[in-house]
């Protein structure tokens, strides 16, 4: 996984449906799952409960929530899939263990 600078991965949120407004002291925690070979651009915000599939690319500045499919290229707020990697090419490189190591 490659993560650029100024990214935020958030795993908890406030309870806005409790007994106080705007929210109470309860924290709602949800794991974030990031699969292998994911590339996350600069200043990405990943929200609680997000799952990012293998080989996905997250465009810089994206706000990500929900499930990102494997090999998807996403961007925007909220992040939307706008393209997919060449899956056969990706799998060939993976099989040949051609990995970028920083």
Specify whether the CB–CB gap between 43 and 6 falls below 8 A: yes
Q: Count of CB atoms within 10 A of residue 44's CB?
A: 22
Just give the CATH number of 2-95.
2.160.10.10
- Using one digit for the tens of pLDDT, what is the confidence trace for 1-19? 899 999 999 999 999 999 9
Question: What's the longest Cα–Cα distance across the chain?
Answer: 56
Q: Which residue's structure tokens are 């499930």?
A: 67
Residue 36 has pLDDT above 80, yes or no: yes
Sequence spans of domains, the chain: 2-95
Question: Does the active-site annotation cover 14?
Answer: yes
Cα separation, 28 vs 30, in Å, equals 7
- Using one digit for the tens of pLDDT, what is the confidence trace for 40-62? 999 999 999 999 999 999 999 99
Specify whether the CB–CB gap between 13 and 27 falls below 8 A: yes
Q: What is the pLDDT of residue 46?
A: 98
Q: Which of 11, 14, 65, 93 is catalytic?
A: 14
Q: What is the pLDDT of residue 101?
A: 80
- Using one digit for the tens of pLDDT, what is the confidence trace for 53-102? 999 999 999 999 999 999 999 999 999 999 999 999 999 999 999 998 87
């Amino acid at each position: 996984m490659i993560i650029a600078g100024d990214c935020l991965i958030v795993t908890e949120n406030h309870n806005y449906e409790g007994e106080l407004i705007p929210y109470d002291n309860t924290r709602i925690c949800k794991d974030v799952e990031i699969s292998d070979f994911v590339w996350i651009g600069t200043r990405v915000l990943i929200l609680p409960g997000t799952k990012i599939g293998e080989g996905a690319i997250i465009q810089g500045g994206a706000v990500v929530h929900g499930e990102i499919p494997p090999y998807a290229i996403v961007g925007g707020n909220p992040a939307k899939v706008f393209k997919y990697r060449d899956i056969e090419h990706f799998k060939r490189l993976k099989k040949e263990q051609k990995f970028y190591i920083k």
